[in-house]
């Protein structure tokens, strides 16, 4: 008992000592101990509750699929750690895509497939493509922003035209009025263009999670991806122009869907629909890169998609207003210019894709990226795009008149007036058939008809206008059909009753088509026809003689001769008047006029009989040429005397009988020599007259090209630096080695180029575009400012 009593006493004294010590501790220290205890408890329970994103990852095994017509989802397997993402060089080998995994234990939430419906807070949500439930945790433990939690309170009224609230809206954290607004927007078709973009993003977050996370774990979801892609495209049509940020995120998700599994010959596949943004869609960059890898020229359809979606090409109004016509003409011009297509080199820059999610629900995941082995990123090259831009400008200029016609608000878009403003290749089939019929009737020779008959071949009761006549002549010319009168070279348009002559005419350069030799031959032919028709009888003998004169000309091409024969056919039915030629005659120097006057006398004497009417016409011609009319008789006598010297030859030569008159071959030969002398003289004059013309034409062409070939720049940079800046913005981080390859492809010095770009960005937004030396990071704030 004594021992126990002593022990109890010791305990009492110890307790008193402890209490005394505790009592001596200041109050402030007690408060600090309490706070630390609470913090420790919170951290303990939080770590017990949240799954660790580092403990789960997804390794995506993707086999390139040569037989697939459209890319889809990929199959995934579990791994215990996060690893880098890469795609093997050989597209036919198995490719490894590694992306972060979704958290385990999704809890009571489910995805509504397309067409499924659910009622939340009394609102019937049809159409599906949303997550509904009470638990869909992110790496940080809170519910994913896209989850529609039926337990959250919802107001009676909500206006989806008002802001949803916050930069990263979340259904759990927005106000109950905003929840009502969101549910209303979903129930009303998700298509109201006045809706605040925050609600569109909230809906998009769910699509993004389904594609990037859920489809990563379950290969059976592959069949859902086409529906989701179509839904994203629908949203882009409605809201893409409202928010540059949404356009970028939505386009990147489409890229993810389209290239997460791909045919190694992707360049042969039909190009999906994409919205144009500040960078070329990854799908096209991959298709172009694969073509370069295989050494295959770019197919026309892929080239068309390239020019329509590349931000370095700005399509002008005719191309955007006349889309169908632009597409058709571009494909034709591309094939005409490059045959099988443009071949791309295998440049140094390698193609990679870093996916930047829109949803804050992805915060805490590692970087999501795809690599494609040695597939080059050919979009850094400027030369191929320059060739395509030239075709774009050509086609755009061809559509300019038609575009202006449509801009007037006319409902005659398919009328002949409208069609004649288009190149014939863009005509509808009905008009093309009319052209084919004309070519068959023409064969390889001349086809004469009234202008009324020609117009009625395309449109009944069509009325001639200057624009209509010019348009028809251009359309015929494009199909290698010439027309006289030559309205494209300044001739007066014909009336409905007047004759036109059609003939085969291969395309040649304008400076060859209207050469000085041709112009000289044309003038002498017209004057000869005036003389021949002076007595009102343009005889068959005179027609044959002039035809032979054309055929034996030495300085004319076969195309020139064909047009002159057609013009002679026209002159035979519709003679030209002397006053109509006076303007051209006035251009000649007097010695040339004297020579030409004497030649006309020889032409009149050619048939051996000069009538009084022909003498009167010669006097008028002499007067128009500034030559004394009294010289007519002397020149005729000289021509007759010259002919008499050929009598011996004429009697010894065989005579050709033809339609009741005789062709004097010796006289024709003598006249041909005179014709060649006159043609040579006139050609030299016309050549001198045209010396200044090419300069004026060249200046005009340069001006038009400067207007049409303007390249849209980024931050006011030139083409090469703009290309580098666009590529930089496609990823948040680059290694120095990667950018050295890019700079080499663009023929730039990397450090100087980055400094130049950063100065431009600082001038525009008070922030540099890049920071660091290796790695080089991209300022996302500049990207966001560019989108606005």
Assign 466 a pLDDT band (cuts: 50, 70, 90).
confident
Measured distance between the N- and C-terminal CA atoms of the chain, rounded to whole angstroms: 90
Question: What is the domain extent for residue 488?
Answer: 424-506
Q: Are residues 673 and 723 in the same domain?
A: no
- The pLDDT mean for the chain works out to 75
Nearest-10 Cα torsion for 697, 703, 705, 706: 160
pLDDT for 87: 35
Q: Are residues 335 and 358 in the same domain?
A: yes
The Cα angle at residue 221 between residues 216 and 223, in degrees rounded to 5: 130
DSSP character at residue 95: E
Coil vs helix vs strand at 606: coil
Last residue of a domain, one of 506, 530, 558: 506
Rounded mean pLDDT, 576-585: 75
Specify if 442 maps to a domain. Answer: yes
- Asked whether residue 92 carries a pLDDT value surpassing 50, the answer given is no
Last residue of a domain, one of 32, 49, 66: 49
Coil vs helix vs strand at 492: coil
Last residue of a domain, one of 26, 49, 72: 49
Distance (Å, rounded) from C-alpha 534 to C-alpha 526? 12
Q: Are residues 669 and 562 in the same domain?
A: yes
pTM above 0.85, yes or no: no
Interval 110-122: pLDDT, tens: 999 999 999 999 9
CATH number at residue 781: 1.10.10
Q: Within the chain, what is the greatest distance between any pair of CA atoms?
A: 178
CATH number at residue 616: 1.10.3680.10
The domain tally of the chain equals: 5
pLDDT for 607: 63
Specify if 470 maps to a domain. Answer: yes
pLDDT for 99: 47
Q: Are residues 480 and 535 in the same domain?
A: no
Contacts for 760 with CB less than 8 Å, ≥ 6 apart: 715, 716, 717, 721, 725, 769
Rounded mean pLDDT, 151-164: 92
Interval 477-532: pLDDT, tens: 888 899 999 888 888 888 888 999 999 988 776 666 777 778 878 887 887 787 77
Inter-helix orientation angle 383-398/693-708, to 10°: 110
Coil vs helix vs strand at 45: helix
pLDDT for 531: 76
Interval 261-298: pLDDT, tens: 778 888 999 988 888 877 888 899 999 999 999 999 99
pLDDT for 85: 32
Interval 193-236: pLDDT, tens: 999 999 999 999 999 999 988 887 888 888 899 999 999 999 99
Specify if 549 maps to a domain. Answer: yes
| Helix (H), strand (E) at residue 581 | helix 578-585
Q: Are residues 502 and 527 in the same domain?
A: no
- For residue 469, with 0-12 CB atoms within 10 Å meaning exposed, 13-18 middle and 19 or more buried, which class applies? buried
Q: Are residues 237 and 143 in the same domain?
A: yes
Residue 190 CA, chain-centre distance (Å), reads 31
Assign 465 a pLDDT band (cuts: 50, 70, 90).
confident
* Helix intervals (H) in 295-427: 300-309, 317-321, 323-338, 383-398, 400-407, 416-419
Q: Report whether 298 contacts 306 (CB < 8 A).
A: yes
Q: Are residues 268 and 181 in the same domain?
A: yes
pLDDT for 599: 76
Contacts for 441 with CB less than 8 Å, ≥ 6 apart: 447
Q: Are residues 560 and 477 in the same domain?
A: no
Specify if 120 maps to a domain. Answer: yes
Q: Report whether 757 contacts 718 (CB < 8 A).
A: no
Q: Are residues 179 and 220 in the same domain?
A: yes
Pairing of strands 656-658, 661-663: antiparallel
Q: Are residues 477 and 626 in the same domain?
A: no
Whole-angstrom CA distances from 313 to 98, 308, 380, 389, 440 are: 34, 7, 14, 7, 42
């Amino acid at each position: 008992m004594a021992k126990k009593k002593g022990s109890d006493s010791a305990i009492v004294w110890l307790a008193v000592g402890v209490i005394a010590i505790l009592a001596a501790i200041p109050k402030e220290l007690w408060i600090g101990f309490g706070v630390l205890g609470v913090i420790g408890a919170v951290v303990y329970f939080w770590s017990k509750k949240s799954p660790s994103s580092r403990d789960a990852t997804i390794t995506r095994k993707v086999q390139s699929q040569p037989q697939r017509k459209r890319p889809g989802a990929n199959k995934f397997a579990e791994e215990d750690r996060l690893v880098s993402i890469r795609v093997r060089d050989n597209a036919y080998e198995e490719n490894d895509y590694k992306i972060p995994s979704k958290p385990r234990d999704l809890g009571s939430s489910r995805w509504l497939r397309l067409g499924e419906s659910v009622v939340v807070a009394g609102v019937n949500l049809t159409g599906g493509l949303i997550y509904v439930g009470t638990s869909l945790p992110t790496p940080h433990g809170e519910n994913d922003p896209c989850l529609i939690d039926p337990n959250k309170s919802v107001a009676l009224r909500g206006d989806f035209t008002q802001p949803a609230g916050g930069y990263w809206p979340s259904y759990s954290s927005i106000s109950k009025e905003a929840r009502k607004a969101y549910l209303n927007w979903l129930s009303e078709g998700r298509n109201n263009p006045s809706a605040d973009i925050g609600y569109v993003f909230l809906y998009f977050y769910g699509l993004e999670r389904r594609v990037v996370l859920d489809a990563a774990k379950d290969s059976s979801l592959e069949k859902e991806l086409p529906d989701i892609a179509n839904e994203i495209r629908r949203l882009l049509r409605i809201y893409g122009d409202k928010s540059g940020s949404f356009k970028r995120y939505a386009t990147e998700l489409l890229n993810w869907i389209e290239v997460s599994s791909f045919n190694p010959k992707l360049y042969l596949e039909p190009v999906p629909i994409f919205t144009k943004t500040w960078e070329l869609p990854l799908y096209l960059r991959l298709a172009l890169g694969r073509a370069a890898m295989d050494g295959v020229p770019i197919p026309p359809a892929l080239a068309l998609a390239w020019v329509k979606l590349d931000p370095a090409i700005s399509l002008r109004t005719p191309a955007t207003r006349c889309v169908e016509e632009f597409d058709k003409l571009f494909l034709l011009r591309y094939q005409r210019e490059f045959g099988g297509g443009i071949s791309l080199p295998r440049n140094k820059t390698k193609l990679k894709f870093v996916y930047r999610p829109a949803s804050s629900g992805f915060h805490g995941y590692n970087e999501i990226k795809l690599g494609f082995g040695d597939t080059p990123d050919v979009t850094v090259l400027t030369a191929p795009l320059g060739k395509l831009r030239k075709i774009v400008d050509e086609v755009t200029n061809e559509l300019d008149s038609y575009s202006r016609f449509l801009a007037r608000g006319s409902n005659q878009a398919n009328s002949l007036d409208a069609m004649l403003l288009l190149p014939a290749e863009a005509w509808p089939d009905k008009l093309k058939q009319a052209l084919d019929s004309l070519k068959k009737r023409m064969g390889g020779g001349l086809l004469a008809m009234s202008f009324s008959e020609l117009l009625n071949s395309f449109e009944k009761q069509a009325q001639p206008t200057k624009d209509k006549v010019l348009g028809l002549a251009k359309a015929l010319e494009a199909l290698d059909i010439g027309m006289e009168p030559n309205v494209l070279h300044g001739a007066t348009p014909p009336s409905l009753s007047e004759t036109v002559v059609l003939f085969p005419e291969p395309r040649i350069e304008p400076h060859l088509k209207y050469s000085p030799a041709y112009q000289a031959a044309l003038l002498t032919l017209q004057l000869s026809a005036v003389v021949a028709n002076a007595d009102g009888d343009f005889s068959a003998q005179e027609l044959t003689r002039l035809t032979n004169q054309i055929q034996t000309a030495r300085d004319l091409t076969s195309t020139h001769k064909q047009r002159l024969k057609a013009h002679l056919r026209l002159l035979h039915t519709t003679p030209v008047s002397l006053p109509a030629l006076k303007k051209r005659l006035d251009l000649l120097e007097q010695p040339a006029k004297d020579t030409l006057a004497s030649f006309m006398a020889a032409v009149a004497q050619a048939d051996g009989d000069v009538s009084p009417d022909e003498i009167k016409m010669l006097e008028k011609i002499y007067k128009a040429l500034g030559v004394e009319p009294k010289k007519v008789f002397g020149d005729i006598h000289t021509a007759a005397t010259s002919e008499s010297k050929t009598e011996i030859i004429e009697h010894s030569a065989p005579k050709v009988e033809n339609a009741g008159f005789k062709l004097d071959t010796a006289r024709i030969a003598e006249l041909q020599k005179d014709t060649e002398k006159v043609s040579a003289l006139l050609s030299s004059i016309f050549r001198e007259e045209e010396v200044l013309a090419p300069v004026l034409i060249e200046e005009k062409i340069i001006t038009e090209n400067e207007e049409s070939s303007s390249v849209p720049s980024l931050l006011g940079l030139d083409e090469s630096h703009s290309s580098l800046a666009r590529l930089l913005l496609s990823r948040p981080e680059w290694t120095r080695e990667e950018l050295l390859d890019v700079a080499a492809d663009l023929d730039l010095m990397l450090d100087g180029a980055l400094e130049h770009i950063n100065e431009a960005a600082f001038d525009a937004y008070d922030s540099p575009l890049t920071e660091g030396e290796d790695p080089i990071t991209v300022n996302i704030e500049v990207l966001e400012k560019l989108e606005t």
